[in-house]
């Protein structure tokens, strides 16, 4: 996919990121839909900058991904992050949207799927986010392209499982069908985003970064080309009460139906609605869990850099 003439290459890797990759030093990819569509201003920008700082303090280089001025950028400036977090015309870019937004030259925030594509193109193996998209509840057959991307791009996505607004059993089944390993970070339960999870199990428990890196390295060394999910439970002190979140989710799903929300607007609508319904508790939890995921991703990226 790389073009021969760098000047025409739509994939633009920041110098700091390119240098780290060339030296075999650890890099952690970060997405931008969470900035533009997943959190309100100013928490979104603060969080995005904090995540970059967490990666640096863990000894890796952050690479936040977005579409800026007609290029797919891997590694953003603070100004770019500020633009993504304040401009209300930012497109939500999954794989199908990329060509159109690149051609328009406008700002685009990349979802997990589009960020995996960019990370893979750049040669980055580890990516941190909040929660992946998945199979939505009900009979709408709304299935996130995050799942098919996990089946296509060899990148480990460190997340608090999938967002609990989804049908989590079906999401796990879909991952199995796609051949995507689901690892539990110091847990046997598949994390449920705002809560640590209890009812669903992961495929493999890993108790540290070396073990996670060994599994990933063996997976890819065997020639498998799929991605992986590393499910990190939200830290206990930030966990949202299960009854509170279930009520807010049910309320959000009802409101989204009533308002006729569909397609790519469903997830941002639900996140905003649930944040309101819980008086901001779900947003605080979302910020805490993505920070924790970023710490773990950094450890795994550092461990993986040693094995390769």
Catalytic residues: 31, 163
End-to-end alpha carbon distance in the chain: 23
The option from Mn ion, ligand PSU, none interacting with 111 (CB < 5 to 8 A, set by class) reads ligand PSU
The option from ligand PSU, Mn ion, none interacting with 130 (CB < 5 to 8 A, set by class) reads ligand PSU
The option from ligand PSU, Mn ion, none interacting with 158 (CB < 5 to 8 A, set by class) reads none
Residue 256 binds ligand PSU (CB under 6 A): no
Residue 253 binds ligand PSU (CB under 6 A): no
Near ligand PSU in 117-136, by CB under 6 A? 129-131, 133
CA dihedral in degrees (123, 76, 272, 97; nearest 10)?
-60
Residue 281 binds ligand PSU (CB under 6 A): no
Of 142 and 292, CB closest to Mn ion: 142
Contact in structure between 150 and 157 (CB atoms under 8 Å): yes
Q: Which of 124, 155, 215, 290 binds ligand PSU (CB under 6 A)?
A: 290
Residue 31 binds ligand PSU (CB under 6 A): yes
- 3-class secondary-structure state, position 22: helix
Close Cβ partners of 31 (under 8 Å, ≥ 6 residues apart): 64, 65, 109, 110, 111, 112, 114, 115, 127, 129
Residue 171's CB is within 10 A of a number of other CB atoms, namely 26
Q: Is 244 exposed, middle or buried (0-12, 13-18, 19+ CB in 10 A)?
A: middle
| Min separation Cβ 52 and ligand PSU, Å | 16
Residue 282 binds ligand PSU (CB under 6 A): no
The option from Mn ion, ligand PSU, none interacting with 152 (CB < 5 to 8 A, set by class) reads none
Near Mn ion in 122-161, by CB under 5 A? 142
Q: Which of 55, 101, 112, 116 binds ligand PSU (CB under 6 A)?
A: 112
- 3-class secondary-structure state, position 262: coil
Contact in structure between 100 and 129 (CB atoms under 8 Å): no
Contact in structure between 162 and 170 (CB atoms under 8 Å): no
Of 17 and 290, CB closest to ligand PSU: 290
Contact in structure between 94 and 145 (CB atoms under 8 Å): yes
Contact in structure between 249 and 274 (CB atoms under 8 Å): yes
| Min separation Cβ 239 and ligand PSU, Å | 15
Token pair belonging to 225: 């080309």
Stretch of residues binding ligand PSU (CB under 6 A), selected from 62-70, 75-83, 140-148, 179-187: 140-148
Token pair belonging to 63: 């690479």
Residue nearest to ligand PSU (CB): 130
Q: Applying CB under 6 A, which residues contact ligand PSU?
A: 31, 33-34, 37-38, 111-112, 129-131, 133, 144-146, 264, 267, 271, 286, 290
């Amino acid at each position: 996919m790389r073009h021969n003439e760098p000047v025409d290459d739509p994939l633009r890797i920041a110098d700091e990121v390119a240098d780290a990759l060339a030296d075999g030093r650890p890099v952690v990819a970060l997405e931008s839909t969470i900035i533009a569509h997943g959190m309100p201003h100013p928490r979104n920008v603060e969080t995005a900058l904090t995540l970059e700082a967490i990666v640096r303090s863990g000894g890796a280089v952050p690479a936040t991904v977005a579409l800026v001025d007609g290029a797919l950028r891997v590694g953003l400036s603070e100004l770019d992050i500020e633009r993504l977090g304040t401009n209300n015309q930012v497109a939500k870019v999954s794989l199908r949207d990329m060509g159109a937004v690149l051609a328009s030259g406008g700002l685009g925030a990349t979802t997990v799927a589009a960020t995996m594509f960019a990370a893979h193109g750049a040669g980055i193996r580890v990516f941190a986010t909040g929660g992946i998209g998945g199979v939505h509840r009900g009979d709408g057959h709304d299935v996130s392209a995050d799942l098919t991307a996990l089946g296509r791009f060899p990148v480990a996505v460190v997340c608090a499982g999938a967002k609990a607004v989804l049908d989590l059993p079906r999401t796990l089944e879909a991952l199995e069908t796609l051949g995507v390993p689901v690892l539990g970070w110091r847990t046997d339960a598949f994390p449920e985003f705002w809560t640590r999870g209890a009812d669903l199990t992961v495929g493999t428990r890993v108790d540290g970064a070396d073990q996670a890196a060994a599994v990933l390295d063996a997976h890819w060394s065997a020639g498998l080309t799929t991605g992986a999910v590393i499910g990190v439970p939200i830290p206990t002190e930030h966990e949202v009460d299960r009854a509170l979140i279930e009520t807010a989710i049910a309320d959000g799903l009802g409101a989204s139906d009533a308002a006729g929300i569909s397609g790519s607007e469903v997830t941002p609508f639900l996140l905003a609605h649930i944040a309101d319904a819980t008086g901001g508790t779900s947003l605080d939890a979302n910020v805490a869990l993505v920070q924790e995921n970023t710490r773990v991703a950094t450890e795994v990226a550092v461990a993986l850099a040693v094995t390769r």
